[in-house]
Structure formats: C-alpha cells, structure tokens
A and B are shown apart, each in its own frame.
Chain A
Amino acid sequence: MMAKIFIDDKPYEVDGSKNLLETALSIGLNLPYFCWHPAMHSVGACRQCAIIKYKDDDDKKGKLVMACMEPVADNLHISIEAPEAHAFRAGNVEALMTNHPHDCPVCDEGGECHLQDMTVMTGHNERRYCYTKRTHNNQYLGPFVNHEMNRCIQCYRCVRFYKDYAGGKDLDVFAAHNDVYFGRQEEGVLESEFSGNLVEVCPTGVFTDKTLKKHYTRKWDLTNAPSVCHQCSLGCNIIASERYGTIRRVLSRFNGDVNGYFLCDRGRFGYEYINSKNRIITPARLVNGSFAAITAGDAVQEIKAIINTENNTIGIGSPKASMESNFLLRELVGPANFYAGVPAREGKLIRQVIAILDNGKVKTPSLSEAKTYDAVFILGEDLTNTAPMLALSLRQAAKNEPNEIARAVKIPDWNDAATREAVQGATGPFFIAAAHDTKLDDIATGIYHASPDQIAGFGNAVAGNINRQLNFVAADAEIEKLSDTISAALLAAKKPLIVAGTSLYNEAIVQAAANIAYALKDRGKDAGLIYILPEANSIGSALLADQYLEDAFAQASPKEAKSVIILENDLYQRMDKTATDTFLQYFTNVISLDYLENATTRNSTLLLPAGTFAEADGTIISNEGRAQRFYQVHVPKNDVRSSWKWLAELMAAYDSSPINLDAVIDRLTAAFPALQAIQYVAPSAGFREDTQKIPRSPQRYSGRTAINADMHVSEPRPPADPDSALSYTMEGYVGIPPPALTPFYWSPGWNSAQAINKYQIEVGGELHGGNPGKRLFEPDPNSKAAYFNSTPSACSPKEGQYMVLPLYHIFGSDELSAQSPAVAERVPQPYIALNDSDAGKAGIVEGAIIEILLSGNKKWLPVKLKMGLPQGTAGLPKGLQETAGIIYPFYTTIKIAGND
C-alpha cells in the first residue's frame, strides 16, 4: 500500500507499511539514528531520529516524535529540518557524549564511526558537560572481538543482534541507569559463531575487530576489493582490504540476495592465512631434496618444455579454485586428462545435487530468501558448522509463523520489541534430522537423531506421507509419528523449506530431501530446497569435470613417466596418505599451484605461487548455483598471481598476446554454453563509469604515501589492472558504482559501513543496479523430474565396529581459515566422539584415550561424549591436520589405549 507523505512540505509517494525513519532514509534524506538497524528494526531506545509530526495541514507547532516508532500514514506531514527537531537531536548526541571518552584518535573505529558521522550530522560540536565520566572494565572476549565498554553509547544493538537475531546466549546487558554494561557474565570467548557482526553492528568502538587491531590501519588508508567468501559453499559477499601488501580485514559486503548485512566468524576472521609466513611467494624447483627459488620466466619456460615434449600431462582441479583457473587447466591438459579435485564419492554427490538444481522442479532459494520460509526441515546437516550463515537465515525463518501472532494484534513488523513480546520466543515448525545434536536444536520443534541411512529413510517416510503414491514407509511406530508431524507441518505451511547437503556423504539423504520437496511441490506447495556443498566452488568445479581423484589415481602407473599439474589442492586432505604418496611418486614432474605449503607441495617438484581470493580475480558458483565474481585486492610485490594467469602463460595459444579475465571467460562460455551467465556476473574490464575506472581506495587526506617520502616524494605509479574496471588507486569515479564492482561504502557524511543505506533502492533492500550474481538454475514449471526410488541399505556394522562420521567445526574443518592465527585459537584438539551408552558399555569415560585404526595406522585420541550420536557410530572432527585424508563414513574398531 502506497501513501503520500509530506516531509518539510515536499510530497513523497512512499511504502505505507514502513516507519518514518526507514522511509526518510530510503528517500535519501539524512536523519541520524543509532538503535534502529535495517535488519533488526525499531525499538525506540536512542531517541536520535526525532522529527516533528504535525496533526494536519493547519498544525504549525507539531509534536516531537521518534521517526523509527511512527508508522507512515497517508497525508502525514512531518519535518526533519524544524529547529526544535535539530536542537533535540544535537542535545541527544551531547547527552550520549557525556560518558563517551572522545578517544577517536586512538580508537579503531575512528574514520568509519557511525557515532562520529551522526555527531557531525546533528551539528553538536561543543562540550558543556564538565564532570567525571563513568568508567568500566573491559572484558577478554576471545581472539576475534575487542571490547572497550567506555565508548559505549548504550544503543542496545549488540545484544539485540547477538541474542535476539543470532540466538546467542552469552552476551547481555547488565546493571542500570548510566551504568549499563554490555558484555559477558564473566570474561571469556564469545560463543556465537556470528560474534564478528558486533564489529559492524556497534555504532562506535566498543566491539572492534581484534584481528585488524593486530595490523591496524584506518579505513581511508585501505585498498579494497569486492570479493566473495571462499570458506564455505554459500558465497557470502565480502569486502577484503589491504595495506602495504598484507590483508588487514574482511567486512560484509551487502548483497540483498545473499548474506545481507552479516557474515559468520569463519568468513570474517579466517582471512589471515593469506598473510602467513608459509605462503609460497616465488616459483621454486626441487633440487636435491629442497626447493630453490627460480624466476617466473624460467618456471614458465621449464613447465612449457615439460608439457610440450611429453604431451601426456594430467591436471587435477580444485573446488577451491575459480571457474577460470579450473577451466584453463582443463584446456591446458585436455578434457580427457582433467580430473575434478575431489574423491569420487563427493564428486558424484555434487553432480547429483547439480542434477536436482538443474531439473528445476523445486526452487532453490537464495540465502536471503531462505528467511522468508515458514516451516523448515533439515536433513543431515549441522548447518552452524557446515553453512553458518544459512543457520542464521533459518533462525529468522523460524520467527515467521509466530510473527503472525503480533500481526494479528496489529503490531507492525518493524516494531521489533513489541513483536518479540507478543511472540514470547515461540518458533515456527522447525525439524532437524541429524546424526547428533546441533546448535539449531534450541529452535527446533522436532529432532530426530540417527545414522545417515536412517535419516534418508526417515526423509523418505516424510515424502511418502506427503505423496501417498510413493512407496516409502516409516521404519517403526515412533518414526512414523514424528514423520506424520513433520509432513503435516510442511503441508500446513505457506512456504516449506527442505535443507540437506553433502556433509555426511550420503546420496540417499540428498535424494530423500528432493523427494520431500517434489512431493510438496506436487501438492501445490511453494516449496524450497537448499543443498549445502563442501566448498566455495564445489558446484562450479564439478560442472567442468566428471573424473575424480580415484580415476586419476587408477590411471597413473609407474610405467609411463607423466607429469601432473595440481591446482590449489592439497590431495593429502582428500585422499589416503599412502595412496597419495604412491600416486605422486609415479610422476616425473609434480607441478603444484598453491598458496600455502602443504603435504602436496612438499611432494611436488615444481611450485607456482597461486593467488588466494585476495590476489586473484575469478568466478565461483555457490550452493544456490549463483555465479559470483571476486576481484583481486592488490598486486603483491612477489610472483603470486591468479592460477589462471600462470596457466594462460603456459598455454601456447596465448603466447602472442597477454590474456585477461574477460578473454578466459569468453573461452569458458564458448566451451560451456550452459555457463553463459558467467559473462554477465559483473561488468567487463572495459566498463567505465563516467569515463573513469572504479577506485579501490577511498578519497583520503592523510599521509598515506608519506612512508616512502624519505626516498621519493612523488607517489609510485599504481599498477594497471587489465582484468577489471577497478583501479588500484583513489583516483577515478566518485559515486555509486555497479554493485558487483563496489569496493567500499562511502557517501558524503557517511563514513561508516552504514553508508550502505545510500547504495540501496530502499534501506535494507536491493542494491541500486541489482544484487550481484547470476543464478544458473531457475525453477522450471514444466519440470518432469522423477522421484528417487533408492532405499538406503541399512547396513549395520559388525560387532565391535563403529561407523565413523565426520563432525564439522566452523573453526577447524576448513583447511585454510584454520591456518589463520585467530581462528586457529578456536580449532578443537583432535578427539573421537562416541555415543554415551556405547561408551558406557565399553567402560569408556569422557577424556579417556582410545586407540583407533585410521587408514591402517593406529591413532590415539581422547573421547568426547556427543549428545545424540547414534549407537554404533563414532565421530571425528573433519579437516583437522590429524584427520586429513579420511574418506567418510568408514568402519573401524576402537579400544581403550593400553588394553592390548
């Protein structure tokens, strides 16, 4: 419903369902605020957005009201500019400042502080308060977030995000009056996987990025690039920032279809591996058992000679590497010699998911759209650890059904406190079938713990309830009851959502999830289906190859001396150590393109330094099937570059002219017409805004380049960027660039991340120019996709054997982020998880050391008792150094150490 309102006598046509603050901001007007947040809405605490509201045309005096707490109404007259409103807003900041330490010069927030911006906006500039300020002790909150409570202006956003939005339990507000304290009950690591968002949610310097603090730089001195998080399959949009050759921090880059305002802590704080001392920064050749640096030119010539003379080189791609890099390796070695860099079990599962996305029978919603579903059924995924931001989205989805309670008593959606009061913490239908307890259990209305095959069978039973023609039956009466509850809830919902994934390596789960979604669709429901994949480009890399590591291992033989090029892939993470050792020994030349030293690079003969997402351009495809572009942040002063650049140099076809990103994409889409959309993910390198490139650095007035002034007073020429429309300078287009090319947010008067308001069509909504990314798979109303009939074989392990399942850790299961110092502090020690009754029967207690056979080797691990883990199963933390190369699930024996 639209409404006509008058702001300072100017008429505007606006959305009638919004409050006046978001309305004013959406129009583009400047109205200061603190407690309101576009994702968390209004509570009316800070009193900063005061305006004058008039009763009618004749009312000249009006009444001071808070814009965030006032609904839009037709023919409403308000004033932002009235002197009384100005005076109140300035006075309010003056009051806020009475206890603020004014320590901007030493505050990490300085220069991108919402409090600074709002203070200037109100015009308050003279301090009249001359008494002592209240002071607080700060707390140690773990390796990610720094705490400085004295700067607090008590907007309550931190607890509203942490508790109300993200479901955290260990941050709260204590005490009263001007002594209120935001922190933990006692010092300690913040438990929430989303704690880093406090850094962006806090309007001032109370919660700041502790990793940035260790290599601090002001916002205006950073060089930034629009990028995409590489640390899980969701493809959250990020801004990565650099100064003097090191990456300093990662912020959320708003994408209304993907992550919105937020990021998980792995995505935000997992970047520091890029600055690791273990980076491969120069090409190297193995000489007498150790690596010797060689020039880039020599390396290229040498490798060219190898692959040209032999003409029998195989290539192993990577789900961590971009489409462009995977594609060029495929081109270089030929499709027949190109292998997807994952084990067959994983690769086939990914292709199964792709087939389901591709048939279009059911919509796969975006990460953001997932928030709009009103019933959720998760099969087999521990989302908080395998796709954290989806867990955050689903926490919001769980509020949809109960929010109807508030709507029924006419509470507008934006009135957050009143909505929560009316709802009383109720959650909508939310079901989890998983191999163990998960962090979403607190909002679940039904939980089923079972082995992977049982989860699949359970899923099929639910599908069978929804579509009676399917021949699925529940395994027993108890399961039947729960499956009845779930199918009834999914059918009662307006928009039911099914979530599954590959994390248990179980094809039947993937198929059962599809069966449920198909059945709902056939009953006319607007169902959604989301799959979680293992890595950032799992889908993309699987689209380019259907041969897997086992195939590569099988075809390798000691008889013919071949070469292998391994792209951004530590094979020892994925395959058994002995098999990998043997495989690599068959090759005369093992050429690795990688970022960090690892077991594979140590067993290589030639190394090429590959760019991480910070030193490379490229495209990756998220779990949603969304192709998204990431851009190089800076040009390192070493030989690190995009893998596809190395590969292009190795290709004779590109000898004559240097190849840029657009040219690679042209070739890629020519070879794979189905991936045509990749062309349109972002503007090409030739794009200019107002004839200018888009600067990676903000305008600044500091002595950024003075550090070299003792040598030369003129600035060095910035590097050229032939691959994108971005420049490595502050010179260029000033204004709002296309969203896929937005390296930072800034607008006059808005220096903090909240300048994003100016980049959105409506605050909190879509970006000007559309949310970035192109979806490769869209629903097809004519889809004839068939149900899956596979009934999982209920193979039970032999007596004394355990089926070992992977246990995922947001901090630890991702190989690269785990090598970032802050994240490393949160990585668990290796352990084995057991069901408590199994452990009890075997006389094993928590912490006992037990012996387990892993890939033929004895290992000794302490026991953790894990809630919900089914009898006969055990769990190992996936992806730790100690658990590398395990293919799950597998059967093994365990015994108490020393009881031989």
Chain B
Amino acid sequence: MYPINDNIEKPLTQHIKNDGSWLTLKEYESTGGYQALKKALQMKPAEIIQVVLDSGLKGRGGAGFPTGKKWSTIDISENASSIKYLVANADEMEPGSFKDRFLLEGNPHQLIEGIIIGAYAIQASFSYIFLRWAYHLAGKALTQSIQEAYDAGYLGKNIGGSGFNLDMSLHISVGRYMCGEETALLNALEGKRSNPRAKPPYPSNSGLFGKPTIVNNVETLSNVPHIIMKGANWFMNLSKTGEGGTKLYGASGKVKSPGLWELPLGISLRELLEDYAGGMADGYRFKGVLPGGGSTDFLVEEHLDVAMDYASVAKAGSRLGTGTIIVLDDKTCPVGMVHNLERFFAQESCGWCTPCREGLPWTAKILYALETGAGKTEDLNILEFHTHYMAPGNTFCALAPGAMEPLQSALKYFKADFEMHIHQHKCPWNS
C-alpha cells in the first residue's frame, strides 16, 4: 500500500522492498548503510547528542520527548557508571499502530545502526531490542541481522577499530501493552512483573538492573543514522513545521485505502485522510478520528485541517501519539468503539495502582451496559468522574490517562449518541 509516486524525501522507508523481504546487511550497506556509524565513531559522544538535539527529533513512541534531551540526561563523565544500557522499544502494542512493524520487517539494520550510534552517544556497553511477541517476522529479521552485524564487526568488541564495545540482544516479550511504558519494559526485561516504576529516579539515573539506561522507540532510533549522515538542518527541513523529520503515518478504519506512509511531519489531517487514505469508503461518512492510536482523544470534522505534529495536535485537544489514525465512521457505534478500547485497556492494566486497576474495568462495564441497553442516566456522570479520576498524575503511569482520552473526547463530541443508548435502552447501531 506504500505510495511511491510522490517526490517526498523518505529516509526511513525509501529502501524498503515491496516483496516482503527485509534488507540484508549487504543490501543495507549498498544503500549507504553503516556509513553513519563510521562517521559517528569519529565524533565525540557529546557531539552526536548535540546533533540529535539540534535536529529536533522527538520520541516517536507517542510521548514526543526530545531524543537529544533524553540522551543528554545520561552522565557520560569519567565518574559515571561503567555499565549503561540502551534499549530499543519494539513492543508496539498501541491499538491501531503498525508503523514500527514496517521498519522492523523491512529494514532491521537501520534500527541496529541507530542503536549502535545511540549507544555510542551515551557510552552504553549493552543494548537490547525489546520486541512485541506477536512480531514473529520482525523477530526473524532481527535475529539474522544482529548476527550479521556481529559478523561484520558492527557489534562486539572494538567496533570499527574505535575502541567502543557494544553487545546487543533481542528480547522477545510475552506480550503486554504495559511493556510499552519504558519503566515497565525495564522491569519485564529484568524478569520482573511489568509494573511501571515511579519517576524520579528516571531510567537515565537508575534504569535497567539499576544502571543508567535510555529507552527509545524503533522509529526514533531508525532516524538517527540519517541525522548523523545528513545533519540536523537537513532533518529539521524535512518537516513542514518546527519539529524535525518525517513521520510514519498510518490510517485504519472505513477509509478507501488504509495504509502506512512516510510523510513530512506536520502534514494536515485532511491531506492524510483524503490524499493518502483516499477519503472515506463508499457509503460511509466521517464522524471522528483518533489521531495517534487508541489512547488519544477524538478529533472531529472541525479539526481536519490541523497539522499532524506534536504541538498542533496537542493544541487541538489530542495527541499525535504514534501518528496512526483510527477513523470512526457514521455506521460504527462510537460507544461500542470506546467500549472495545476500554475493555482492552482494563485488561492490560498491570494492577499496580488503584485508579487504573479498578477504574478501567468500571468504565468498561458501564460502556457494556450502555451497549446492551442497560445504561442509566447517572452512568454518564460516573464515566465523566472517571475521566477526572484517572487524569495524568493521578495514576502511577500514563496507561489509564491514555485510556481516558478516547472516552473523555467521545463524551464531549458524541454525548448525544451516549444518551440515545440510555433513552432507547439499546445500541442504536445494533438493531
């Protein structure tokens, strides 16, 4: 579904093949692969961090934290811990998201090179790729590619004669949404329950096995070799806004052409929906959209011209998240859609903090009651209450606040639909 008939620069995906096979080491090298590593190893770690900082690269996992800033929180002085870790978060489980998968299955070496450069920048000696269990093909690709990188001397001792040592290990998760949260991921990597950790201390201070650690998303790290090769300015200029780079955007739902596209960061929601996803499928009308995966607020018709970058989507009342939009149409019940999401989030709660553990199942039960005609007027107040109860900061991590985003925005934009469920004692979409 990848459109190749445009002239937009697509550093991340330009070399990905159409036949479903991934780029081998040879193929990757033939596209200029591992040149960035060679260049990086000539640089000082602090210089790399500065370039990444200048590029404006923001975390592509959903939170959008500036990557260079994250890296600069690691102490790389003489007194620093001799053991540090860099972890690639490949536990892509956000509902509606499938962007990292595309990179993992298509160009694993791009990620590996990004990890090595990142590890060098923070002076880590060990790196992990934490992979979602269901990504079997990516698992194969990474296993083979890590071995190739070792064989070629890109991993192991004295990489490229630089004196820098780095090991890399692929960790295949058992599959919990919770593991996408970086501190829960670290706990899982240590063999513990995937409960999140309180911050502070941040992982850069006490992370994996209590050592300084940086966790970055797959797409984030895959950008790093290109930034090193072509510079911060080039990267900044890729985007249509002040936030640098391209972004993997995706679309699912009742659109004509669901798919995934690498586009300049800041393309408008309307362009994404109409030009790339082909508009609504025949017979369906647009009702709303979750712009960045299941844990983001709905945007509606009035927001279609919002630029799909971190600041603009936030201003519109939602989050760019993973940049993979889920489109709600007029023939799908919004209450049912939200119920489906809340049931998922309730199931995926780790059970550590009270609001998430107890609050999410309650909202899921109310939404189910609404869907099955057992809803009561006061239910809307209780749902409303939960959107405040599980607000950011009230819970231990971001899972529950994220889960509240589609609910609170649905209550805002589709309140009439909720009320219809109560008054008609049934789901109007399910007659």
- Convert A414-431 into 0s and 1s, putting 1 for each residue whose CB lies closer than 8 angstroms to a CB of B: 010110011110000000
**Interchain CB contact under 8 A, B394 and A64:** yes
A712 interface residue (CB < 8 Å to B): no
Known: A44-B396, A63-B393, A129-B362. A179 touches B351 (CB 8 A): yes
B167 within 8 A of A: no
Contact A48 B354 (CB under 8 A): yes
17 more CB-based (< 8 A) A-B contacts, given A64-B393, A176-B351, A177-B349: A45-B354, A88-B389, A91-B389, A96-B354, A154-B354, A176-B193, A176-B349, A177-B348, A177-B350, A177-B357, A178-B358, A410-B205, A415-B201, A418-B197, A418-B200, A422-B210, A424-B209
Q: A46: which of B198, B354, B359 is its contact (CB, 8 Å)?
A: B354
- From B352, B354, B369, B382, A92 is in contact (CB under 8 Å) with B354
Give bound CA distance, A98 to B348, whole Å.
18
| CB of B206 within 8 Å of the partner chain | yes
Task: Give complex CA distance A176, B351 in Å.
Answer: 5
Q: Across the interface, do B354 and A47 meet the contact criterion of CB distance under 8 Å? A: yes
The 5 tightest CB contacts between A and B, nearest first, are A95-B358, A180-B351, A177-B349, A422-B210, A131-B365
B24 in the interface, Cβ–Cβ < 8 Å? no
Whether the Cβ atoms of A44 and B198 lie closer than 8 Å is yes
Question: In angstroms, how far is the closest chain A Cβ from the Cβ of B371?
Answer: 14
Is B312 on the interface with A (CB-CB < 8 A)?
no
In contact, B358 and A405 (Cβ under 8 angstroms): no
Given A411-B201, A417-B198, check contact A424 B354 (CB 8 Å). Answer: no
Q: Distance (Å) between the CB of A827 and the closest chain B CB?
A: 36
* Contact B394–A424 (Cβ < 8 Å): no
A91 to B209, CA, bound (A): 36
Q: Is B257 an interface residue (CB 8 A)?
A: no
Instruction: Contact check, A95 vs B350: say whether CB atoms are below 8 A apart.
Output: no
Taking the complex as formed, is A852 at the interface, i.e. its CB lies under 8 A from any CB of chain B? no
Given contacts A175-B351, A176-B351, contact A95 B359 (CB under 8 A): yes
Partner of B395, one of A47, A179, A406, A410: A47
Please list 28 pairs of residues, one from A and one from B, whose beta carbons are closer than 8 Å in the complex, sorted by A's number: A46-B354, A47-B353, A47-B355, A47-B394, A64-B391, A88-B389, A92-B355, A92-B389, A95-B355, A98-B358, A154-B357, A176-B178, A177-B347, A177-B348, A177-B350, A177-B351, A178-B349, A178-B357, A180-B357, A405-B210, A409-B201, A410-B201, A410-B205, A418-B197, A421-B197, A422-B201, A422-B210, A424-B209
Contacts of B197 in A (CB 8 A): 417-418, 421
Smallest CB gap from A425: residue in B: B210
Residues of B within 8 A of A64 (CB): 391, 393-394
Contact residues of A with B, CB < 8 Å?
43-48, 50, 63-65, 69, 88, 91-92, 95-96, 98-99, 128-129, 131, 153-154, 156, 173, 175-180, 405-406, 409-411, 415, 417-418, 421-424
| Chain B nearest CB, measured from A488 CB (Å) | 24
Asked whether B95 is an interface residue with its Cβ less than 8 Å from the other chain, the reply is no
Say yes or no: A422 contacts B206, CB within 8 Å.
yes
Chain B residues lying within 8 Å of A173, measured Cβ to Cβ, are 193, 351
Q: How far is A95 from B178 in the complex, measured between Cα atoms in Å? A: 21
B 65-98 binary contact with A (CB < 8 Å = 1; else 0):
0000000000000000000000000000000000
* CB-based nearest A residue for B395: A47
A95 in contact with B389 (CB, 8 Å) = yes
Contacts of A423 in B (CB 8 A): 210
Which residues of chain B from 361 to 390 have a CB within 8 Å of any chain A CB? 361-362, 365, 369, 378, 382, 385, 389
How far does the Cβ of A114 sit from chain B's closest Cβ, in whole Å? 15
Q: Which listed residue (B201, B206, B353, B359) contacts A44, Cβ 8 A?
A: B353
Interface residue ranges of B199-215 to A (CB < 8 Å): 200-201, 205-206, 209-210
Smallest beta-carbon distance A324→chain B, Å: 52
Please give me the residue from chain B that is nearest to A406 by CB atom.
B206
Indicate whether B176 reaches chain A with its CB closer than 8 angstroms: yes
Min C-beta distance of B30 to chain A, whole Å: 44
Minimum Cβ distance to chain B for residue A219 (Å): 26
Is B346 an interface position by the 8 A CB rule? yes
What residues of chain B lie closer than 8 Å to A128, measured between beta carbons?
Answer: 378, 382
- Name the residue on A nearest B212 (C-beta): A409
Alpha-carbon separation in the docked complex, A176 to B176 (Å)? 10
Hey, which chain B residues are within 8 Å of A47, CB to CB?
353-355, 394-396
Chain A residues whose C-beta falls within 8 Å of the C-beta of B355 in the assembled complex: 47, 92, 95
Closest to A43 in B: B198
Q: What is the CB-to-nearest-CB distance from B304 to chain A, in angstroms, rounded to a whole number?
A: 33
A44 CA to B391 CA, complexed, in Å: 16
B358 partner residues in chain A, CB cutoff 8 A: 95-96, 98-99, 178
- What separation, in Å, do the CA atoms of A63 and B394 have in the docked complex? 9
Q: What's the nearest-Cβ distance from chain B to residue A704, in Å?
A: 36
Report A-chain residues with C-beta under 8 Å of the C-beta of B354: 45-48, 92, 95-96, 153-154
With the chains together, A173 CA to B210 CA distance in Å? 22
User: In the assembled complex, how far is the CB of residue A194 from the closest CB belonging to chain B, in whole angstroms?
Assistant: 23
User: For A421, what are the chain B residues with a Cβ–Cβ distance below 8 Å?
Assistant: 197, 206, 210
User: Among the listed A88, A98, A179, A418, which residue makes an inter-chain contact with B206, where contact means beta carbons less than 8 Å apart?
Assistant: A418
In the bound complex, CA of A602 to CA of B358 (Å): 62
**Alpha-carbon separation in the docked complex, A411 to B206 (Å):** 9
B contact residues around A405 at 8 Å (CB): 210
In the bound assembly, the distance between CA atoms of A43 and B354 in angstroms comes to: 13
Given A44-B396, A46-B353, A95-B355, check contact A177 B205 (CB 8 Å). no
Contact residues in A for B209 (Cβ distance below 8 Å): 424
Q: Considering the chains assembled together, what is the distance between the CA atoms of A47 and B390 in angstroms? A: 11
Contact for B362 among A45, A98, A153, A411, CB less than 8 A: A98
Q: Which residue of A lies closest to B347 (CB)?
A: A177
* Residues of B close to A43: CB separation below 8 A: 198
Known: A177-B346, A422-B210. A45 touches B353 (CB 8 A): yes
Q: What chain B residues lie within 8 Å of A424 (beta carbons)?
A: 209-210
Question: In the bound complex, what is the Cα–Cα distance between A410 and B365 (angstroms)?
Answer: 43
Q: Is the CB of B348 within 8 A of A45?
A: no
A44 cross-chain contacts in B, Cβ below 8 A: 198, 353, 396
Q: Are B347 and A65 in contact (CB under 8 A)?
A: no
Within 8 A of A (CB), among B14-67: none
Query: How far, in angstroms, from A45 to B358 measured CA to CA in the complex?
Result: 12
Q: Give chain B residues whose Cβ lies under 8 Å from the Cβ of A99.
A: 358
Contact B350 A176 (CB under 8 A): yes
A328 to B102 CA separation, bound complex (whole angstroms): 89
* Residue on A nearest B359 in the bound complex, by CB: A95
Q: Is the CB of A178 within 8 A of B198?
A: no
A595 to chain B, nearest CB (A): 48
B365–A178 touching, CB < 8 Å = no
A residues less than 8 Å from B350 (CB atoms): 176-177
Give the most central of B209, B357, B382: most A CB within 10 Å: B357
A131 to B389, CA, bound (A): 19
Tell which of A45, A95, A131, A175 has the most Cβ of chain B within 10 Å.
A95
Complex Cα distance, B354 from A48, in Å, reads: 8
Question: How many Å lie between the Cα of A92 and that of B347 in the bound state?
Answer: 19
Q: Tell me, rounded to whole Å, the shortest Cβ–Cβ distance linking A314 to chain B.
A: 64
CB distance from A401 to the nearest CB of B (A): 15
Residue of A nearest to B349 (CB): A177
Closest-by-CB residue of B relative to A415 is B198
Docked Cα-Cα span, A634 to B393, in Å, equals 52
Contacts A45-B396, A92-B355 given; does A409 touch B206 at CB 8 Å: yes
Report the bound CA distance from A128 to B369 in whole Å: 14
Chain A residues with CB under 8 Å of B391's CB are 64
Known pairs A65-B393, A98-B362, A409-B206; A45 contacts B382 (CB<8 A): no
Nearest residue in B to A423 (C-beta to C-beta)?
B210
